[in-house]
Amino acid sequence: MSKGNHLFAITHGVLKRLVIFASLFALLSVKSVVPRESALALAHIDPATSIFGTVNLENKLLDRLSGVRGLRVVIVPDSQWKSEAISTEFFDIDSVVSFGSMHGARFVIDISDIESGIEVKKGLSIPLLFSRYSAVGKICGFIRIVDVKKRRLVANEDFCVEKKGKSNWQPLEDNPYTSDLHISAAEKPRLYEDLEWKTADWLSKTFLKRTSLR
């Protein structure tokens, strides 16, 4: 084989390999952008009131889950939940699965027994020297997550989310009732707004972890 033909053969072989690699890369790229099959999650949140006013987690939970690829979340009104999803006052997984299936849902989220308020908690303390107290906002409740397709509970647990408000260092005192820990009426909405966002963060992360969605 002449030197020219030999060089042509080498160049042709290299170009052929480059074409093969480019084709494989293109196929992998196409596969990576194929959208995940859309999953519908129905979410029910018990209506609740507190010293802060109406508990409003729905919109915040929707906001936190809205960025999850391939997931659509729809809030179920309490009246519809009680008339269609639960046949008695107790949670019944068969009824909830039937309810989810009827609406084409993959998951059903139920957040119930919501309670909220402010309490004073004692932190670091050295007797006869100083004590530290904090006013803490709390939202507690119970979360259930049902995988409709697998017909089973993937979450069934209590939760309690806290957000610190005011703190007070007390040299030579130990008084949890000091006025320095009082949260005024003007300050409470801000504390509770932050607390609701923190609760929505916890609920969304728990949902994604238990359902293996990211």
pLDDT tens track for 51-73: 555 557 888 999 999 889 899 99
- Domain extent listing, the chain: 36-211
The CATH code of the domain at 36-211 is: 3.30.160
pLDDT at 137: 85
pLDDT tens track for 161-213: 998 875 554 555 555 555 555 666 677 778 888 999 999 999 999 999 999 87
pLDDT tens track for 77-111: 989 998 888 866 678 899 999 999 999 999 999 99
Side-by-side strand order, sheet with 107-126: 71-75, 39-45, 107-126, 130-147, 152-171
Global confidence as pTM: 0.72
